[in-house]
Structure 1
Amino acid sequence: MTWENYERLAEFHDLFMTEAWERLRPRVRSALAHLGETSVVVEIGAGSGIGTRTIAAETRARIFAVEPALVMRSILTARVADHPQLADRVTVVAGSVPDDLGEVPAGIDAFVCAHMLGHLDRETRRGLFAWLGSHLRPGGVGLVTTQERPEAPAGRDGDTLLVETRTIGDYEYRAHHLRTGRPGRHSSRYEVWRGSTLVRSESFEGRWEAVTAGDVAADLPPSLALEVVASGVALIRSRDGRPSRDRRAAR
């Protein structure tokens, strides 16, 4: 999926990401709660800010939220601006990784790459982790989400693999995740229903591949090490192993 696709997808994005971030919240808290208000967390692929809001609730650190897609970044910026506690601590950075990370401080204490690595090819992932490895302070930590690489399901292209639903007002929103049969591609269709009547639908196809914990481990530079902590969740640490704190860290 190109960043331009989000101009049509953004309307539906938040409806189906809230639960994913709530499931991740305990891991965010465990990884980042010790950081104090002078620490720096970088969120890669911040999207519309659902994750940014979750991260900010679980740590006192400053957050640099990096997002390349204009429409998603617009929602992110509005979400930050409307929340005084976010506006004081969150800086929204426009651009792609790793090329546009120049606005991020040279020393960071933590990073989060959640629900986004599948958008990146291997070369870009390795470039990103090389940058993070060279900027992560001793004892720093990263949190990443991963997937299992599924076997190709039986069926035809366009067959529905998963349907999620969400009701808002008179409308039911349905997200159909579709079989493409082509490695590294993802297809979805979003429908808006009023009762038994289909009001409208939007379809998208773009780049997405399952990135496993093994893939991430292979992408890391020698300065970083991977630790799987739960299904689909891993921590990345600098190899000296000391927790990163500042003098005003939460106690």
Structure 2
Amino acid sequence: MKKFYILFFLFILIDIHSQEVIKDYPLSNIIEETSGLEIVGDLLVTHNDSGGEASLYYLSKKGKILKKRKIKSASNKDWEDITKDSEYLYISDSGNNYNNRRDLKIYKVPIDENSKEKNQIISFNYPEQESFKINRNTIYDAEGLISIDNNLIIFTKNRAKKITEFYSIPKEEGKYDAKKIGTLKTNSIITGADYNQKLGLLALTSTVNFNEYYLITVKDFYLSKTNNYIINMFKIPIGKTQVEAVKIIDNKNFWITSEDEQSSKYA
């Protein structure tokens, strides 16, 4: 069984005073590999990780599945995150655990389910990648995706250095070399991302050892600024778990989805 959590963080400036889970709701086993989170209207939207159906699941704020939307002409090889702009949802099929994928892509899907517009595919690669031999320590695996203006930004997982490098990809259908923009020294491995452009706030979920998970916040995150970010890292207080999705409510409140574990006091 998975659980659906809202995390409430109380902090002043960059100093955290307390963090508390204020609500938790069970999720259906249908979405036991929940690996992305977005809001459309009053509903939360999630999807499963690798091998799941190529579908989106629309949830109430209490975690109940209200509808399922199958994404036409798509497959779920390793869906890792979802983001949106005013017209489209973007689903990141960017999981690359073994370093050997040559078919990384992002699905561009109209938010309006009644739209007659066809779904589009944004294919991309890392121009720095020279070897596609199987390598569990790959630096070309990505689990975070956000939207900023006309750009999609992906955040990689660097298991060895515990950093994330972020790349820009256009939102238009086509094949692209992802453009490296910068690096964040997160001291952990990134598992999910969200961005609130009005607040200039970036939120990342991460782990160090796959036992404890963290929420990372980066204020004043803009593409015109590629370094000297102030990075704040907060332990997610739900015990041993697996967190791969986050959605910003405001600068103190966040939705996350997480696997429930017996060690969690919220189980």
TM-score range, shorter chain: under 0.3
TM-score calculated relative to the size of structure 1: 0.26
**Whose Rg is larger?**
1
Relative to total residues, which structure has the larger helix share, 1 or 2? 1
Relative to total residues, which structure has the larger strand share, 1 or 2? 2
If asked which structure has higher relative contact order (CA below 8 Å, sep 6+), I would say 1
TM-score calculated relative to the size of structure 2: 0.25
